[in-house]
């Protein structure tokens, strides 16, 4: 039986058990998300890549039963990353994403449906998601399950004859448990199946070639057309006596391409009394092994059936330090609004690669270039209004 069939068979069993638990539970009133509007600026800068843009989210409820929302998100991309400048010149791109959805509340049962469309010059993506969750056992336990399906179209700028499809399915199960008055635990499973054209049509692998001035040549990457991955995560939040909270997370990932990864994160949230200010700090470590068909430098042309040199397929680690501050304020000066908040979050990320080399370094023999590393900054600033 294929890995895809095994995953789907196991998840169908889990869904049946989960749905039975949901249907067998009693019904007590819950609440929908608050009505709100968010305006956000996001930015990423690191490794020669810059991504900036706005995002707008609006959510509105009706009779405590239905909540509808819409989101508009833009990425303005300028890329002079090592993958780009080693083979071509810097480029600019723009991606626009639109999402709409609604949530429905019936007693303790919460259901949500959403649709997302993303468009850029050489890529189109469409996805649908449905989820259902319910509180039971005296509201101490919450079980949620969701399913998403995506259909993408991959194109290549400058080549009108190139067009490929990529499809995916995502299965997710979430379980949260109130253990004590101070401790909440959460468990999550996510399975993903991908099929179609799964690599970047612009990327190349390099191989030893004594006939080339650099000592190596390039040819297109070739990926398998199927991929199945699974991830399990456990999260905990412990509320400290002085109103602060400690957050912990551990997540494990594996897929049929041979990539194994894990991340561990610790966070601290501290509200400052009578100021409306909340401060957050975090540290995250991520470690990943390389795909089975990855190589920084292949011994010859067409060395394998599948070949990759995307650095995200290699073995690497990241260290993330993050900080954020939220300021909540009254909105008496804005008729119809209850309150607002200003939010600023910044992450510093250090990427360190174990088997991806910096080909821009001169004077080095092929395969002897220094290992690549870079720093990145991620910024998110947004204002929220609740009504």
For residue 121, count other CB atoms closer than 10 A to its CB.
Answer: 11
Residue 5: pLDDT over 50: no
pLDDT for residue 30? 60
Tell me which of 3-12, 30-39, 361-370 is least confident.
3-12
Residue 177: pLDDT over 60: yes
Q: How many CA atoms lie within 13 A of 90 on its CB side?
A: 9
Residue 194: pLDDT over 90: yes
pLDDT cut 70: percent of the chain above it: 92
Residue 21: pLDDT over 60: no
Beta strands in the chain (DSSP E): 36-46, 49-62, 66-79, 91-106, 109-120, 123-136, 141-156, 159-178, 183-196, 204-208, 216-220, 226-239, 245-255, 260-272, 277-288, 316-330, 339-357, 371-386
pLDDT for residue 209? 97
Total residue count of the chain as it appears in this document:
387
Domain residue ranges of the chain, discontinuous segments joined by +: 198-387
pLDDT for residue 2? 40
Render pLDDT for 339-366 as a digit per residue (tens, 0 to 9).
Answer: 999 999 999 999 999 999 999 988 899 9
Distance of alpha carbon 377 from alpha carbon 50, whole angstroms: 10
State the average pLDDT over residues 354-379. Answer: 94
State the average pLDDT over residues 181-206. Answer: 96
The candidate with the shortest Cα–Cα distance to 3, out of 167, 226, 289, is: 226
The candidate with the shortest Cα–Cα distance to 238, out of 246, 230, 227, is: 246
Residue 184: pLDDT over 90: yes
Distance of alpha carbon 211 from alpha carbon 275, whole angstroms: 69
Residue 50: pLDDT over 70: yes
Render pLDDT for 134-147 as a digit per residue (tens, 0 to 9).
Answer: 998 888 999 999 99
Render pLDDT for 287-333 as a digit per residue (tens, 0 to 9).
Answer: 999 999 999 999 999 999 999 999 999 999 999 999 999 999 998 88
Render pLDDT for 63-99 as a digit per residue (tens, 0 to 9).
Answer: 889 999 999 999 999 988 888 888 877 889 999 999 9
pLDDT for residue 11? 39
Distance of alpha carbon 372 from alpha carbon 82, whole angstroms: 9
Residue 163: pLDDT over 50: yes
State the average pLDDT over residues 195-209. Answer: 95
First to last CA, the chain: 53
The rounded mean pLDDT for the chain is 90
Which residue carries 């009254």 as its tokens?
Answer: 330
pLDDT for residue 220? 95
Distance of alpha carbon 344 from alpha carbon 78, whole angstroms: 23
Residue 20: pLDDT over 80: no
Render pLDDT for 10-19 as a digit per residue (tens, 0 to 9).
Answer: 433 333 333 3
- Structure confidence at residue 25 as a pLDDT band (50, 70, 90): very low
Residue 208: pLDDT over 80: yes
């Amino acid at each position: 039986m294929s890995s895809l069939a095994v995953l789907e068979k196991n998840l169908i069993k889990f869904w049946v058990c989960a749905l039975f638990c949901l249907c067998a539970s009693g019904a007590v009133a819950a609440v929908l998300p608050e009505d709100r509007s968010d305006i956000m600026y996001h930015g990423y800068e690191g490794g020669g890549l810059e991504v900036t843009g706005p995002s707008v989210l609006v959510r509105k409820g009706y009779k405590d039963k239905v909540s509808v929302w819409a989101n508009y998100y833009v990425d303005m991309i300028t890329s002079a990353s090592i993958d780009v400048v080693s083979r071509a010149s810097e480029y600019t791109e723009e991606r626009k994403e639109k999402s709409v959805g609604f949530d429905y509340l019936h007693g303790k049962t919460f259901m949500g449906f959403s649709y997302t469309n993303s468009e850029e010059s050489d890529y189109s993506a469409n996805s649908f998601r449905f989820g259902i969750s319910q509180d039971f056992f005296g509201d101490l336990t919450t079980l949620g399950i969701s399913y998403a399906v995506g259909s993408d179209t991959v194109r290549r700028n400058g080549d009108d004859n190139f067009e490929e499809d990529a499809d995916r399915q995502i299965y997710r199960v979430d379980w949260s448990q109130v253990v004590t008055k101070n401790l909440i635990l959460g468990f999550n499973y996510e399975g993903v199946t991908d099929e179609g054209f799964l690599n970047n049509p612009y990327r190349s692998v390099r191989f030893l070639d004594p006939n080339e001035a650099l000592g190596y040549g390039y040819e297109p990457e070739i990926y398998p057309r199927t991929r199945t991955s699974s991830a399990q995560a456990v999260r905990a939040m412990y509320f400290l006596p002085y109103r602060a909270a400690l957050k912990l997370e551990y997540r494990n990932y594996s897929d049929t391409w041979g990539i194994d990864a894990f991340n561990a994160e610790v966070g601290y949230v501290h509200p400052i009394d009578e100021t409306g200010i909340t401060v957050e700090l975090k540290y995250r470590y991520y470690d990943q092994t390389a795909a089975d068909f990855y190589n920084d430098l292949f011994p010859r042309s067409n060395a394998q059936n599948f070949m990759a040199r995307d650095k995200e397929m290699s073995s690497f680690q990241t260290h993330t330090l993050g900080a954020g501050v939220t300021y909540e304020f009254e909105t008496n000066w804005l008729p119809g609004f209850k309150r607002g908040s200003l939010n600023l979050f910044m992450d510093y990320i250090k990427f360190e690669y174990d088997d991806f080399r910096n080909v821009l370094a001169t004077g080095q023999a092929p395969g002897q270039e220094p290992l690549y590393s870079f720093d990145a900054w991620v910024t998110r600033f947004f204002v929220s209004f609740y009504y």
